[in-house]
Amino acid sequence: MSEPTSAGPHSAFRWTYEGRAWIFGDEVGVDGDLMPLEFALKRETRLDVLARHTFEQLDPDFHKKVAPGDIVVAGRRFAQGNPHIQGLLGLKGLELGLICESISSGSFRNAVNAGLAFLPNCPAVRKHVGQGDRLRVNFETGEVSNLSTGWTSHYSPLPEALRTIVAGGGWRLLFRRGWAEAAPPPP
Query: What tens digit of pLDDT does each residue of 140-151 get?
Result: 999 999 999 999
The pTM assigned to this predicted structure is 0.88
Query: What tens digit of pLDDT does each residue of 64-113 get?
Result: 999 999 999 999 999 999 999 999 999 999 999 999 999 999 999 999 99
Which of 170, 123, 166, 154 has its CA nearest to residue 15?
A: 166
